Chains A and B, each alone.
Chain A
Amino acid sequence: MKKKQCKLGVLALLLFAEYGFAQSKDSLSKETSIKEVVVVAFGKQKKEEITGSVQSLKAKDLSNLQNGNILQGIGGKVAGVQVISSGQPGSQPTIRMRGIGSINASSDPLIVLDGIPYSGNLNSIAASDIESISFLEDASSNALYGSRGANGVIIVNTKRGKSKGLSIEADVKTGVNFRSIEDYSVYTSPQDYYTAYYNRARIGEIARLKQPGAVPSGPSPHDVGLAALSKLGYNAYSVPFSQLISKDGSFNPEAKLLYQDNWKKLLFRPSLRREATVGINANSDQVKSYTSLNYLDDKGYLISSGFERFGIRSNVDYAITSKLKLTSALSYTYSKQDFGETGGFSNPFQFARNIAPFYPVFLRDNNYQRLYDSYGNALYDYGDGQGPNGATRSYAVFENPVGNLQKDKSQIVSNITNLNLGLNYEIIKGLDFTYNFGAYLENTRNLQFGNTEGGTSSSVGGTISQGSNFKYTLNHQQLLTYQKKLGNHSFNLLVGHELNKIKDDGFSGSKQQLLLPDSQSFDNAVKITDLSGSGYEYAVEGYFTRLLYNYDGKYFFNANIRRDGSSVFSPESRWGNFYGLGLAWNIAKEDFLKDNSVINSLKLKASYGQQGNDNILLSGSNRDYYAYQDIYGINNFGDDKPVLSLKKQGNKDLKWETSKNLNAGFEISLLKNRINLNADYFERKVSDMIYTLPLPPSNAGSYVKYGNIGDMTNRGVQANLSVDILRGEEFQWSFYANATHYKNKITRLPAEQRNTGLVTGLFILTEGGDRYTYFLKEFAGVNPENGDALWYRTAINPTTQKEERTVTNNYKEATDYNTGKSAIPKVYGGFGTDFTFKRFNLAVNFAYQFGGYGYDDIYRSLFHSDSYGSNYSTDLDKTWTPENPTAALPRVDLTATNQNGNSTLYLIKSDYISLQDVTFSYQLPEDFAKQAGLSGLKIYLTGNNLYLWSKRKGYDPRASLTGVSDSYRYSLLSSVSLGFKLNF
């Protein structure tokens, strides 16, 4: 079956080669004017010819970005593109183009590197190697990528040799990384915490006594408060717990503070960032080459985290003969990434926020003197009873991130080789054949090391896990292009075939019981606890064709079709057809506008097309490559015999998610191209959305099954304005702004969910509603009598038999309402300005978002009723106490668990403005530079993620697409560096 299709493809190619436009001898006239060229699917096009929505960032926009992964820094710079990142150096951000593409399939755009679809991490590419990044947002641009283009395509092109001769550019930066925004406000002094904790127990007792039928248990509320304090174990003061707080609630002034350790200072501190790159451009008539070396050492502000990278690249264009050209791009990158974010109680971000300030970091004896080991190293307190007077810590016992991060490791080392080869042969004038081959080879080694001295790993003598993974991607493209100009008509026809194959294979092992506490070699441990392997294979094949036509450079038309088959679906549902059509009219070239002095260019454009998405996600954002098959895991029964555990159900009927995209817009340049405005209206209709079927556990247990269950639409507008305010000899000033607004609507759900909606987490999906509408209990206020939290309840009154809305303090009975509030912002984008005076330049960029709602789960968790010495928000002074009965926030005590239950109380506007980056540079005078043997020397100071204005201190809406705060997230990192750019 496959061979047949191959042969048909060949036949198609042959037909075109033989009977296509091969007869004419007319040649294309050369364009002499310099028109901006933009990278598009399988080639380049002049900007004026584009009928769709394509935006670019050039090398100069990117050269100041300091992120290990280049995509982290583009937030606010490109209309329609949202960037969600974490502070972990080198981490890949989440990119969304024009809204949400799906519920359960990935909404990630496809990344194409140097013409080949890229399945690796962009942290392996240095910013200095990038010539341009193009964002293809509509169907006419994307359809050629068929199955993977539904969420947009990001085309990254690396630098190639240009002009003639030899030129060298080097860039060296040194800087500091630090935590970008302060965390939520919590108690920092043990005195304040003890007082707060005492009050929690005290008012809890007062509230309990107010309940009908409550039995006084003997001790007064004050004594109950003191008794609770004594359970905390660690007393940082010189007087016993029973004397810490007096009956009037004031802290004992005689109490002396015996110790205090600052967890935050020990975990987060400014760190060093160093980067150096060299790019060599060596060109002759026949050979053009670009070679580069880059090095980055990006230490994170969380101790023991960071990203280190070393890379080499060689891009060569070799004109073998006048008809035969060879292009190559070869790169090797070595990178090492150390992670700080882990899950669970050992996560340093959650830990530092939640640990009460009286718990010590360091181990002390019964006299509160620090203890050290025989080498003089600090010993850490894990709260397991080895501390002063055998106290134990109730919060996160066995964990001490400061202690663990001294020795523990969570590290990935990657060796990535990327090889692209292209052969272009001009068969006859106008007819080109290109064969592109891309190979991406990635070997990663994963190391997890748990130390022998403290924490959960020490109870098993230390743990070592190592894994090795090899992944390769092979991509073959055969392209046949024919260009022909007949009078005013220009044609460009492309016919092609592409095969993309990914194979991933790896294994890992774990051992316990180490001999030497510092050696990370497997041999150092003796007890094997796990040995496992896994892998996957993915293949996608497509046939495509594209026609570009223009008349006189005024009227443009393009059409493209692609037929794709993906290994993810069953053979019956495997193949899909995708297409795109575009039209554009360059009005400014018409006679009535040709010589207009105000309007320099004006183009109207429209495009429409259909694309597919096969990128289905399992929970946890891993990709599901076998959606139509039942999947079982193999386990050891304990007697060394294999048994099978079902993991997931397959669905043979699962088919492509398709999205139909409409784009219409205009581009206008005024006043000698000083004012440029680009605006689009877009519509993305996604149908047959892949989602976990809403199966009840009684029918399916915990085994997920995917189906095509619904339809969704994104409708919006985006605009991009850039203005050159001043264009003098010495003085230049320009300004840009972009904004995107879209509405998301679910247009079809399965019949079973049509009336009730589909509840997923904090959101509800309803027909007519959007993907991220909050579904929560509605907070109704605080009962001034006892501080109970109140919520609304809608139920049938048993007497009147009518539905009524009442207020209840029973969380279980309260109703969950569709709040009508959505996490989707009304508008997002960025703006910035660039200011040059003589040799000085200042560039400032912002990103913003307005009109959406987030859910501040972290803030909510700081009003908990846990009794284990977990910190509180300082907004506790806004909560109910008997002394403050009219407070706006409910009572917080040590027993009532639902007082801070999920409700509308924790909804918060996710509006923000972020100062993305600021760069100040000075280009030294040429004579000065020449004295140093350079042709140019620039010195600059650059900083990124410098400031955030949001609705609450500590709340960072940029960390999540839905605005739900995540306590484990590595908070964003700011870098400020001083750098030199040298040209030879």
Chain B
Amino acid sequence: MKIIKYFISAVTIGFIATSCANDLNTLPEGDISGEQLNNDSNSPEKILGGVYLDLRSNGAGGTTVHSDFGIMGIKAGADLMSNDVIQSTNQHLGMFYNYEATNASNIASEIVWTTFYARIFVINKLLDNLDKNANAKNRAIAGQLLALRAYSYFYLVRFYANDYNGHQSEAGLPLVLTANNPSQGLPRSTVAEVYVQIKKDIEESVSLLDTYARPSRAQIDQRAAKAIAAEVFLQTGDYLKAAQYAEESKQGVALMTEDDYTTTGFSNINNPEVIWGFHNTISTMSIGNYYASFFSMFDNTNEGYAGAAQIRKLIDKRLYEAIPATDYRKKVFNGSQSAAYTFNGKTKNYPPYVSWKFKDPTLFEGDYIYIRASSLYYIQAEALARQGRESEARQVLFEITSKRDKAYTLSVKSGSALINEIVLQKRIELWGEGYAWFDMKRLNTPLERVYTGTNHTFGRFNLTPDKFRFQIPNKEINNNPQIKQNE
């Protein structure tokens, strides 16, 4: 009898115990794990798409602050460090304007560093596992990845190291080229070594992208890669290549019209001269906080920080006065008196020298423009002038300036005066687009905000170009025993 009892109990236990069809292998839902992706042959392309997306998202630099929104924020920050762009009160992005951002402990230093190095990490991860020459698709992906890596290092080296000219043997950046690095971090390669890598990457990219037909202007195609290359070679003094790449890149691209320029051309990716940008929609603006975006910061007419919160972006008084009255680019800036301005059906009063260049008719869904053809005219012109081909340089300068200013006549300047004219026109054209500060650093132009009648605000001081350098952020210094801080 007892044995039967034991038997019954054993079977019951056995039955219940084996109903543990348990699986301790779980998979995330909502997010995707690397294991699930191993089966997807299209994953490199999708991860590359993620890199483009992250480059314009709030949180690209690993923080949640509203100044952290990818390349547009960093370009805006760079321009705020130049002679040309002024912010009225010290809030978001203000740390760039008053150079607090250069401190190792400042969040902006961390944002710039991390925005690019995080992308470099993912790029390297993809490149480590990609066979570049397997097929056309892989060539295109590899080409874009290399262009992005070159672009990232190009920005990093211009923030964290001294200018290429005269400082080539100085400390540059940790040159991370694979995702399998030892966890301690790499020491800094020299500035020269960094540029060698940048040039190598961008030229390889140009060659890999030769047959790539991109689905939209958000991807880097050969034209965009050449535009990046033009800027890189201008920086390193390879003027022949700079002029050549600039010419090839802008070939066949129409310039925008006065209507584009004075209305919504700067928030529309279909602007004819856009070479690389990003089309924003409600879903992309929902990543992170939508106030952390370019038009919130730079559109003085919008309901964002520049508009409703009145953290205004202004043009430097002397630059404004240097724009001829016949030049339609002057129309997007306010003069010395407060004035009314109408956009999107709303008329408001604006303070002196305010900018109306960037206007977004939607609530922060305006498109981003990273590179447009106009920039290439100035790169080409300067590169030609530096080679002594001054008449060609004057012609290129005329081609664009005459479109913006009907009264412009072919320049008669030469030597450094011609260069100065090219640079001045460049500053007028590309105000707020992230070129001015890098040119100042390259041309050894000091920061001069103290002058009679200056309209500079809380960053009213002068600096010599040796101060145009960020300290490496504390997070890197504390976790990378091999890295040395800038003095």
Do A539 and B23 have beta carbons less than 8 Å apart? Answer: yes
Of the stretches B2-10, B197-205, B242-250, B331-339, the one at the interface is: B2-10
Known: A510-B286, A536-B29. A646 touches B47 (CB 8 A): yes
- CB of B428 to closest CB in A, whole Å: 29
Do A2 and B17 have beta carbons less than 8 Å apart? Answer: no
Known: A22-B6, A701-B122. A539 touches B185 (CB 8 A): no
Contact of B183 among A17, A478, A647, A699 (CB under 8 A): A699
- CB of A793 to closest CB in B, whole Å: 15
How many angstroms from the CA of A629 to the CA of B90 in the assembled complex?
42
- CB of B419 to closest CB in A, whole Å: 32
B34 interface residue per 8 A CB criterion: yes
Q: Which residues of A contact B9 (CB under 8 A)?
A: 17, 425, 427, 433
- CB of B142 to closest CB in A, whole Å: 18
Do B22 and A643 have beta carbons less than 8 Å apart? Answer: no
Q: Which residues of B contact A530 (CB under 8 A)?
A: 283, 286
Known: A427-B5, A529-B286, A639-B279. A644 touches B43 (CB 8 A): yes
How many angstroms from the CA of A527 to the CA of B91 in the assembled complex?
31
Q: Which residues of A contact B121 (CB under 8 A)?
A: 646, 699-701, 703
Known: A701-B118, A701-B119. A812 touches B103 (CB 8 A): yes
Do B114 and A702 have beta carbons less than 8 Å apart? Answer: yes
- CB of A359 to closest CB in B, whole Å: 15
Do A698 and B117 have beta carbons less than 8 Å apart? Answer: yes
A26 interface residue per 8 A CB criterion: no
Do A631 and B31 have beta carbons less than 8 Å apart? Answer: yes
Of the stretches B74-82, B221-229, B403-411, B478-486, the one at the interface is: B478-486
Q: Which residues of B contact A752 (CB under 8 A)?
A: 183-184, 481
How many angstroms from the CA of A636 to the CA of B5 in the assembled complex?
62
Which chain B residues (78-106) contact chain A, with CB distance < 8 Å? 89-91, 100, 103-105
How many angstroms from the CA of A566 to the CA of B479 in the assembled complex?
31
Known: A699-B183, A756-B478. A647 touches B31 (CB 8 A): yes
Do B46 and A629 have beta carbons less than 8 Å apart? Answer: no
B324 interface residue per 8 A CB criterion: no
Chain B residue at minimum C-beta to C-beta distance from A498: B20
Q: Which residues of B contact A693 (CB under 8 A)?
A: 183
How many angstroms from the CA of A696 to the CA of B49 in the assembled complex?
25
Which chain B residues (170-206) contact chain A, with CB distance < 8 Å? 173-174, 176, 181, 183-186
How many angstroms from the CA of A630 to the CA of B122 in the assembled complex?
12
Contact of A650 among B33, B91, B458, B480 (CB under 8 A): B33
How many angstroms from the CA of A626 to the CA of B46 in the assembled complex?
22
Chain B residue at minimum C-beta to C-beta distance from A343: B64
Of the stretches A45-53, A298-306, A391-399, A546-554, the one at the interface is: A391-399
Chain B residue at minimum C-beta to C-beta distance from A22: B6
Known: A626-B33, A636-B284. A480 touches B13 (CB 8 A): yes
Interface residues on A, range: 35 or more
- CB of A234 to closest CB in B, whole Å: 14
Do A638 and B20 have beta carbons less than 8 Å apart? Answer: no
Q: Which residues of B contact A867 (CB under 8 A)?
A: 89-90, 458
- CB of A695 to closest CB in B, whole Å: 6
Q: Which residues of A contact B184 (CB under 8 A)?
A: 696, 752
Do A698 and B50 have beta carbons less than 8 Å apart? Answer: no
Q: Which residues of A contact B13 (CB under 8 A)?
A: 10, 13-14, 17, 433, 478, 480
Do B25 and A567 have beta carbons less than 8 Å apart? Answer: yes
Contact of A427 among B6, B28, B103 (CB under 8 A): B6
How many angstroms from the CA of A752 to the CA of B479 in the assembled complex?
8
Do B16 and A478 have beta carbons less than 8 Å apart? Answer: yes
1/0 contact trace for A659-696 toward B, CB 8 Å?
00000000000000000000000000000000001111
Do B31 and A633 have beta carbons less than 8 Å apart? Answer: yes
B73 interface residue per 8 A CB criterion: no
Do A6 and B481 have beta carbons less than 8 Å apart? Answer: no
How many angstroms from the CA of A460 to the CA of B48 in the assembled complex?
32
Known: A425-B9, A696-B476, A812-B103. A629 touches B28 (CB 8 A): yes
Do A638 and B26 have beta carbons less than 8 Å apart? Answer: no
Chain B residue at minimum C-beta to C-beta distance from A527: B282
Chain A residue at minimum C-beta to C-beta distance from B44: A644
Known: A539-B23, A695-B183. A703 touches B118 (CB 8 A): yes
- CB of B18 to closest CB in A, whole Å: 5
Q: Which residues of B contact A538 (CB under 8 A)?
A: 26
B54 interface residue per 8 A CB criterion: yes
Known: A530-B283, A650-B34. A10 touches B14 (CB 8 A): yes
Known: A18-B6, A456-B291. A701 touches B53 (CB 8 A): no
Total B residues in contact with A, Cβ cutoff 8 Å: 94
A428 interface residue per 8 A CB criterion: yes
Do B22 and A537 have beta carbons less than 8 Å apart? Answer: no
- CB of B435 to closest CB in A, whole Å: 26
How many angstroms from the CA of A647 to the CA of B31 in the assembled complex?
9
Do A698 and B308 have beta carbons less than 8 Å apart? Answer: no
How many angstroms from the CA of A634 to the CA of B474 in the assembled complex?
31
User: Most chain-A Cβ atoms within 10 A of its Cβ — which of B29, B89, B104?
Assistant: B29
Contact of A698 among B37, B185, B218, B478 (CB under 8 A): B185
1/0 contact trace for B347-365 toward A, CB 8 Å?
0000000000000000100
- CB of A384 to closest CB in B, whole Å: 5
Contact of A697 among B23, B46, B100, B114 (CB under 8 A): B114
How many angstroms from the CA of A630 to the CA of B6 in the assembled complex?
49
Q: Which residues of B contact A539 (CB under 8 A)?
A: 22-24, 26
How many angstroms from the CA of A641 to the CA of B104 in the assembled complex?
39
- CB of A640 to closest CB in B, whole Å: 8
Do A14 and B10 have beta carbons less than 8 Å apart? Answer: yes
Q: Which residues of A contact B20 (CB under 8 A)?
A: 2, 6, 476, 497, 499, 541
Contact of B308 among A398, A527, A625 (CB under 8 A): A398
A635 interface residue per 8 A CB criterion: yes
How many angstroms from the CA of A385 to the CA of B363 in the assembled complex?
19
Q: Which residues of B contact A866 (CB under 8 A)?
A: 90
Do A699 and B279 have beta carbons less than 8 Å apart? Answer: no
- CB of A751 to closest CB in B, whole Å: 9
Do A478 and B62 have beta carbons less than 8 Å apart? Answer: no
A9 interface residue per 8 A CB criterion: yes
Do A635 and B53 have beta carbons less than 8 Å apart? Answer: yes
Known: A17-B6, A646-B47, A646-B50. A697 touches B62 (CB 8 A): yes
B294 interface residue per 8 A CB criterion: no
User: Most chain-B Cβ atoms within 10 A of its Cβ — which of A3, A7, A632, A866?
Assistant: A632
A279 interface residue per 8 A CB criterion: no
B415 interface residue per 8 A CB criterion: no
Do B16 and A435 have beta carbons less than 8 Å apart? Answer: yes
How many angstroms from the CA of A10 to the CA of B181 in the assembled complex?
47
Q: Which residues of B contact A529 (CB under 8 A)?
A: 282-283, 286
B316 interface residue per 8 A CB criterion: no
Q: List 18 A-B residue pairs with CB atoms under 8 Å apart, sorted by A's residue number.
A: A2-B20, A6-B22, A10-B13, A427-B5, A427-B9, A433-B13, A435-B16, A497-B17, A530-B283, A537-B27, A541-B22, A631-B33, A632-B32, A694-B183, A697-B475, A698-B483, A699-B117, A701-B114
Residues of B within 8 A of A (CB): 2, 5-6, 9-10, 12-14, 16-18, 20-35, 37, 43, 46-50, 52-54, 61-62, 89-91, 100, 103-105, 110, 113-114, 117-122, 125, 173-174, 176, 181, 183-186, 215-216, 218, 278-284, 286-287, 291, 303, 308-310, 363, 450, 458, 471, 473-476, 478-481, 483
Residues of A within 8 A of B (CB): 2-3, 6-7, 9-10, 13-14, 17-18, 22, 215, 384-385, 392, 394, 397-398, 425, 427-428, 433, 435, 456, 459-460, 476, 478, 480, 497, 499, 501, 505, 510, 527-530, 532-541, 565-567, 571, 574, 625-626, 629-639, 641-647, 650, 693-703, 752, 756, 758-759, 812, 866-868, 895, 897
Q: Which 4 A-B pairs have the closest CB atoms?
A: A701-B118, A534-B30, A702-B62, A643-B49
Additional 12 contacts, C-beta under 8 A, given A10-B17, A435-B16, A646-B125: A2-B21, A10-B13, A10-B14, A18-B10, A397-B309, A459-B308, A459-B363, A626-B27, A632-B33, A638-B281, A759-B478, A868-B89
